[in-house]
Chains A and B, each alone.
Chain A
Amino acid sequence: MRRPCAVVIAGPGTNRDPDTEAALELAGSEPRTCLVGDLTADPALLSSATIAVVAGGFSYGDALGAGRLLALDLEIALGEHLAVFVERGGLLLGICNGFQVLTRAGLLPGSLTHNDGGHFICDWVELAPTTNSVSIWTAGITDVIHAPIAHGEGRWVHPDPQAIAAGGQVALRYHGCNPNGSVDDVAGVCDATGRVLGLMPHPENHIVDRQHPNAGRIEPMTHLGLRLFQNAVEYARG
């Protein structure tokens, strides 16, 4: 089976790049972690890939608001290349800090701000895929996905959330418990093409059953975050 090339994009302070690489690899792709500087020095690294993931972490220590400085790096240093990558049919995912980066960079709708609880929170959440979503990353998944969260600025807000939902751009909603006060329980949104997705939870930290805190008590394989990455690999294989 062909292993599509994937790029994990990291900035200074990105820290879930190894976890993201592990997920992409297990899902069947050939991942490689690149710093923004690596991609500007050699644009072919991005253009030869079909999947790109902006990984989670604390790029630039969240100074001036989560994701702001790495978004600026992407816009200034990489702007065109990233736009071309998506236009040409590439799949782009932003996880946690990566989601914050992609909203700041204008590639995804809405903004992410401080959790309504006022501080960082780490817990496991359940994510329900929406039925009308155009996202390729969640296409065909009807089971609830379980994944950990670890963020302080994860409350998604948008001036017109109904319009985003109506356009099929809400891909995932918190199921049961909304941990951060996101509008309309939104956990993940995509762009109009469905190829760009951002979400606050960490599907890359639920790639095998035993990572679940209640492993053994829930249906095996069903709720894995790995399924998002498998979807992307399958799409990339064409």
Chain B
Amino acid sequence: MQDLRLTIRSASPDPRAEALRRSAGHLGLECPDEIRVADVIHIRGGLNDTDRTRLEEALVDANTQHASWDPPVGNAIEICPLPGVTDPAAEAILHVARTIDVPVDAAVSGRRYEFGPDAEPTVITALVDRLLANPVVEAHWYGNASPPLEIPEAVVPPASTVAVTTLSDGELGELSRQRGLALDPAELSTIAQHFADLGREPTDVELETLAQTWSEHCAHKTFRATIEAADADGTVREFAPLLETLRRCTDEISAPFVRSAFVGNAGVIEFERGTTIALKAETHNHPSAIEPFGGANTGVGGVIRDVLGMAHKPIAVTDILCFGPSDMPLDHVPEGALHPSRIADGVVDGIADYGNKIGLPTVAGAVFHHPAYTTNPLVFAGCIGTADNWRQHDGPHPGDRVVVLGGRTGRDGIRGATFSSLTMDASTGSVAGASVQIGDPITEKLLIDALIGAEHLYSAITDCGAGGLSSAVGEMAEGIGADVELAMVPLKYPGLEPWEIWLSEAQERMVIAVPPASIDAIEQRCARHGVEVTDIGVFTGDGRLVVRHDGHPVVDLDTGFLHDGRPRRHMAAEIRRPERTPTGRPAVAIVPTLLALLAHPNINSRERLLRRYDHEIGGATLGRPIIGVERDAPGDAALLAGPLEASGIAIGIGANPFHGLHDPEWMAWSVVDEAIRNVVAVGADPNKIALLDNFSFGDPRRPVTMGDLIASVDGCTRAAVAFGAPFVSGKDSLNNEYTGPDGERHAVPPTLVITAVAHVPDVDRRTTPTLTTPGNLLVMTGTTGIHFAGSHLDEVVDSADVATGSVPEPDADAPRRYRSLHRCIRAGLIKACHDIAEGGLAVAVAEMCIAGRLGVALTDLGHQDTTTALFSESCGRHVIELSPADLDHVRAEIGSLTVLGTVSDDDTMTFPDGTTIAVADLVAAHTGRHKAAP
């Protein structure tokens, strides 16, 4: 038995060295002149010379790589994953060794960065700390690594009891803080009373189970709370719980296509008989702040499992990202936080890694930059799936087996549910390290392969997400009861305490309830796909949740108390009165203003980012996130339809935190409008739209934040009713706050992301923003008002001494107008269509020119004030291209519209006052690819 290391180098310059240089440049970090990157494999085994040669031949490509078994020397650092962190390369080495019959007992993978002899140690240290190694998941060594090749055997302490019944309120609070339970005082005393009544103390497993089930993350306490809110004039009113308001709104709309709303893992809708669509969007904010790659990676994995957990086959994913400014100087980044561009790079890599590998197209999304997201980046991931002849499973039934499928359980992600319910501070990264994990998309892909088509073999299904088995089995057992044995759960390594096994949020696991007669069939399917499957117990029917470890009960709880015993929260709110006086802006120079807007980080071309995601897989992406003749302009919504299908599904996003800062109610209305406007722009039927809500706000225990939340729920539900588009699922992520070293609390702007999923009846009549034909008319539908609060004009032009004014006002006529526009699209009258959003009309028209590489001659801007006409962000508007012959027909159908001008082939955008901009300059500003001509 010996420990060996194989260092593998690329024969040609390794592109990772160049990537490192680029990333260091973005952060303003110094970089040594000479950098080389190599892969390292550490193994333990009894290998003879022949074994070594055979293993090397199997692992190394002689055409492109050189390898050496000799430990290298020189100025270098090496990085390996910490014990227990997912290491697919190590798994692969073991697989190879088994396949070619070489005796390898343990393996760890690593990376090596080599620098010239003159590289300054301080420069290297800065690179390691800021860029190369994340201590949350990785260890690093100066020189050669010596990672532990085995996790030492640990003695497993049995479950212990925790005295709570005799504690004072103050002592209970201290216990909650120590264990990170994140429970309210009222909840703690309810738990203490419950066990006092039982005449015993809880075990640590029971206490953790209650903390997880009652966490904000799992129980949505704030959205279920009763609220007392004070208006700006001091009147105090009672408000229904926000979740009830959202549900009532869906009931009121009573759309015939809703099959399941606000129940289970995802909403389910049915636009065409026989085919259902499951849809869900999630947040993964806290994990992404401390380990961006793993956080975003597992965020995508989690939302895909939500759809799988509704027995639908996932078909596409979406992402919406909010970061701090990428040009922030390094010394402005608060202590304990990562630089925004490092977070952005990690998050994008994490999404790409998961989506690309699992084989789902990433089709829609958005990116926002705002300083308030520096310490609290937001990552929203969405997924939709489809099923034929779906029926809601009606189990579990007494006697059904509790079956766990997929990845093994480790110490990863312990207490994620409670972690995400706490405020972060400078120590969060080091303390909460165990809350983050790295995903394994291939394991999840195999889970999908094994479970899709097996719907008849189980009676209930749910995913293992936040709260792990505790949450998954606990929820399934609600009202029926279960008896499970933790010793049956397959572990990544020994030594886990019972509560750790029960609470672990190890990824890529699903739980199903299987009638005993179907166990064999499930096991056969899983064997074919290489999925581990374990029967851990039974659903009993006695209403008790019993969890055992080696036969000894460590949990024995009444599921009634577990799920309904939590005292309802009461929240106090203060609703502010937003400024709504229409206030214009002084005249600006059109050319520099428009170019600055096109180059703004929230508006510029996402081409480079989007090319990292596979949006083509499945061959169904007809409406792409980047469109146009040169594929570098933004699309409005994703449109999915199989190669031979007549109809399709559109996915549109609405979000505007800039408006949220000023007026959460009208912001919420306008982001619903935006999501709907986007799907209508690609050809969706306005009568068949379902919505998802995702709220990311600060700490709701601050009355003003709670008031903002009430206002935004009010705004988005009224919009949903106006458009007849029901909410079918949602998720709130609260406590997006960071307490700085100075004790100041920093909250995110009120951020509401709306996802619209809609039916496109005829994909051959789809539209894009790409201008098509010189001589055609360019027309604006809707009306422009004076709406500059939170506008992007204010981002690029200093307006410090101008009154803020109003955010976009709800447009009551928009629902009717979108239906009219849709009839025109169905009739084939609309040659191009684009929604007007950030940056206003000027940006929308410029993007259409960029998409079609055609010019426009504008003659009428639809508002007498040029700045308002071009840059106000009023909602409810589209720009459309149509043949002059169709104008009367379209006008009769839509009503309020403005003929802006004509599409031209002279490659310039011309304004009514004679100002011109070359389309090439628009492209340059938007893509940043070349400098605009002087």
A46 vs B89: C-alpha distance when bound (angstroms): 30
Other-chain contact of B440, A16, A61, A73 (Cβ < 8 Å) = A61
Q: In angstroms, how far is the closest chain B Cβ from the Cβ of A85?
A: 21
Other-chain contact of B613, A62, A73, A122, A208 (Cβ < 8 Å) = A122
The reply to whether the CB of B356 lies closer than 8 angstroms to some CB of chain A is yes
The segment from B10-18, B253-261, B651-659 that touches chain A is: B10-18
Other-chain contact of B96, A69, A110, A118 (Cβ < 8 Å) = A69
In the bound complex, residues from chain A placing their C-beta under 8 Å from that of B64 are 111, 113, 157
The reply to whether the CB of A43 lies closer than 8 angstroms to some CB of chain B is no
A121 vs B622: C-alpha distance when bound (angstroms): 19
A 137-184 contacts with B by CB, 8 A: 148, 150, 157-159
A118 vs B35: C-alpha distance when bound (angstroms): 15
A64 vs B358: C-alpha distance when bound (angstroms): 18
Query: Is there contact, CB below 8 Å, between A205 and B617?
Result: yes
The reply to whether the CB of A87 lies closer than 8 angstroms to some CB of chain B is no
In the bound complex, residues from chain B placing their C-beta under 8 Å from that of A16 are 359, 617
Q: In angstroms, how far is the closest chain A Cβ from the Cβ of B248?
A: 41
Q: In angstroms, how far is the closest chain B Cβ from the Cβ of A113?
A: 4
In the bound complex, residues from chain B placing their C-beta under 8 Å from that of A110 are 63
Query: Is there contact, CB below 8 Å, between B92 and A58?
Result: no
Using CB atoms, name the residue of chain B closest to A147.
B616
The reply to whether the CB of B615 lies closer than 8 angstroms to some CB of chain A is yes
Query: Is there contact, CB below 8 Å, between B357 and A22?
Result: no
Given contacts A58-B442, A61-B442, A116-B15, contact A211 B619 (CB under 8 A): yes
Given contacts A12-B446, A63-B92, A123-B631, contact A113 B10 (CB under 8 A): yes
The reply to whether the CB of B800 lies closer than 8 angstroms to some CB of chain A is no
A204 vs B599: C-alpha distance when bound (angstroms): 36
Other-chain contact of A15, B15, B58, B359 (Cβ < 8 Å) = B359
Query: Is there contact, CB below 8 Å, between B616 and A202?
Result: yes
In the bound complex, residues from chain A placing their C-beta under 8 Å from that of B100 are 72, 76
A77 vs B221: C-alpha distance when bound (angstroms): 54
A159 vs B62: C-alpha distance when bound (angstroms): 11
A113 vs B622: C-alpha distance when bound (angstroms): 30
Given contacts A35-B528, A111-B63, A120-B352, contact A61 B88 (CB under 8 A): yes
Given contacts A22-B619, A124-B631, A157-B64, contact A57 B359 (CB under 8 A): yes
Query: Is there contact, CB below 8 Å, between A123 and B92?
Result: no
Query: Is there contact, CB below 8 Å, between B631 and A65?
Result: no
Other-chain contact of A60, B61, B92, B627 (Cβ < 8 Å) = B92
Given contacts A35-B528, A211-B622, A217-B629, contact A157 B63 (CB under 8 A): yes
The reply to whether the CB of A220 lies closer than 8 angstroms to some CB of chain B is no
Query: Is there contact, CB below 8 Å, between A72 and B99?
Result: yes
Query: Is there contact, CB below 8 Å, between B91 and A63?
Result: yes
What interface size band does chain A fall in? Answer: 35 or more
Chain A CB within 10 Å, residue with most, of B88, B96, B442, B622: B442
The reply to whether the CB of B764 lies closer than 8 angstroms to some CB of chain A is yes
The reply to whether the CB of B552 lies closer than 8 angstroms to some CB of chain A is no
Other-chain contact of A122, B12, B59, B616, B622 (Cβ < 8 Å) = B616
Query: Is there contact, CB below 8 Å, between A120 and B63?
Result: no
Query: Is there contact, CB below 8 Å, between A121 and B611?
Result: yes
Q: In angstroms, how far is the closest chain A Cβ from the Cβ of B43?
A: 13
Query: Is there contact, CB below 8 Å, between B446 and A68?
Result: no
Other-chain contact of A72, B96, B358, B622 (Cβ < 8 Å) = B96
The reply to whether the CB of A89 lies closer than 8 angstroms to some CB of chain B is no
In the bound complex, residues from chain A placing their C-beta under 8 Å from that of B619 are 19, 22, 204-207, 211
Q: In angstroms, how far is the closest chain A Cβ from the Cβ of B355?
A: 10
A207 vs B618: C-alpha distance when bound (angstroms): 12
B 350-365 contacts with A by CB, 8 A: 352, 356-359
A15 vs B616: C-alpha distance when bound (angstroms): 12
A18 vs B448: C-alpha distance when bound (angstroms): 14
Query: Is there contact, CB below 8 Å, between A37 and B528?
Result: yes
Q: In angstroms, how far is the closest chain A Cβ from the Cβ of B867?
A: 35
Using CB atoms, name the residue of chain B closest to A64.
B92
A115 vs B89: C-alpha distance when bound (angstroms): 20
Given contacts A15-B617, A150-B616, A208-B644, contact A73 B99 (CB under 8 A): yes
In the bound complex, residues from chain A placing their C-beta under 8 Å from that of B643 are 22, 26, 207-208, 210-211
Contact with B along A74-114 (1 / 0, CB 8 A): 00100000000000000000000000000010000011011
A146 vs B241: C-alpha distance when bound (angstroms): 54
In the bound complex, residues from chain B placing their C-beta under 8 Å from that of A12 are 442, 445-446, 529-530
Query: Is there contact, CB below 8 Å, between B61 and A122?
Result: no
A207 vs B58: C-alpha distance when bound (angstroms): 36
A22 vs B58: C-alpha distance when bound (angstroms): 33
Given contacts A13-B442, A64-B93, contact A123 B611 (CB under 8 A): yes
Q: In angstroms, how far is the closest chain A Cβ from the Cβ of B315?
A: 11
Contact with B along A200-238 (1 / 0, CB 8 A): 001011111011011001000000000000000000000
Q: In angstroms, how far is the closest chain A Cβ from the Cβ of B411?
A: 22
Other-chain contact of A120, B359, B441, B612 (Cβ < 8 Å) = B612
In the bound complex, residues from chain A placing their C-beta under 8 Å from that of B95 are 60, 69
Query: Is there contact, CB below 8 Å, between A122 and B631?
Result: no
Other-chain contact of B445, A15, A150, A159 (Cβ < 8 Å) = A15
The reply to whether the CB of B763 lies closer than 8 angstroms to some CB of chain A is yes
Contact with B along A1-42 (1 / 0, CB 8 A): 000000000001101101100100010000000010110000
In the bound complex, residues from chain A placing their C-beta under 8 Å from that of B763 are 210
A12 vs B444: C-alpha distance when bound (angstroms): 10
In the bound complex, residues from chain A placing their C-beta under 8 Å from that of B759 are none
Using CB atoms, name the residue of chain A closest to B63.
A111
A113 vs B62: C-alpha distance when bound (angstroms): 12
Query: Is there contact, CB below 8 Å, between A120 and B356?
Result: yes
Using CB atoms, name the residue of chain B closest to A217.
B629
A15 vs B642: C-alpha distance when bound (angstroms): 16
A158 vs B357: C-alpha distance when bound (angstroms): 27
Given contacts A57-B359, A76-B99, A120-B352, contact A104 B61 (CB under 8 A): yes
The reply to whether the CB of B19 lies closer than 8 angstroms to some CB of chain A is yes
A22 vs B619: C-alpha distance when bound (angstroms): 10
Other-chain contact of A213, B99, B631, B642 (Cβ < 8 Å) = B631
In the bound complex, residues from chain B placing their C-beta under 8 Å from that of A58 are 356-357, 359, 441-442
In the bound complex, residues from chain B placing their C-beta under 8 Å from that of A119 are 15, 19, 612
In the bound complex, residues from chain B placing their C-beta under 8 Å from that of A213 are 624, 627, 631
Query: Is there contact, CB below 8 Å, between B19 and A118?
Result: yes
A122 vs B63: C-alpha distance when bound (angstroms): 25
Q: In angstroms, how far is the closest chain B Cβ from the Cβ of A30?
A: 17
In the bound complex, residues from chain A placing their C-beta under 8 Å from that of B615 are 122
Q: In angstroms, how far is the closest chain A Cβ from the Cβ of B149?
A: 18
In the bound complex, residues from chain A placing their C-beta under 8 Å from that of B624 are 213
In the bound complex, residues from chain A placing their C-beta under 8 Å from that of B445 are 12-13, 15
Given contacts A58-B357, A64-B92, A69-B92, contact A210 B764 (CB under 8 A): yes
Query: Is there contact, CB below 8 Å, between B16 and A118?
Result: yes
Query: Is there contact, CB below 8 Å, between B15 and A210?
Result: no
A188 vs B764: C-alpha distance when bound (angstroms): 32
A117 vs B18: C-alpha distance when bound (angstroms): 9
In the bound complex, residues from chain B placing their C-beta under 8 Å from that of A158 are 63
Contact with A along B353-380 (1 / 0, CB 8 A): 0001111000000000000000000000
Using CB atoms, name the residue of chain A closest to B643.
A208
Contact with A along B1-36 (1 / 0, CB 8 A): 000000000101011101100000000000000000
25 A-B contacts, Cβ less than 8 Å apart?
A12-B530, A13-B357, A15-B617, A16-B359, A22-B643, A57-B359, A58-B356, A61-B441, A61-B442, A62-B357, A63-B89, A68-B59, A72-B96, A104-B61, A110-B63, A118-B18, A121-B612, A122-B610, A122-B611, A122-B615, A124-B631, A148-B616, A206-B619, A207-B619, A214-B629
6 shortest interchain CB distances as A-B pairs: A15-B359, A118-B15, A63-B92, A111-B63, A148-B616, A150-B614
Q: Which residues of A contact B (CB under 8 A)?
A: 12-13, 15-16, 18-19, 22, 26, 35, 37-38, 57-58, 60-65, 68-69, 72-73, 76, 104, 110-111, 113-124, 148, 150, 157-159, 202, 204-208, 210-211, 213-214, 217
Known: A60-B88, A114-B14, A211-B622. 5 other contacts (CB 8 A): A72-B100, A123-B631, A205-B616, A210-B643, A210-B764
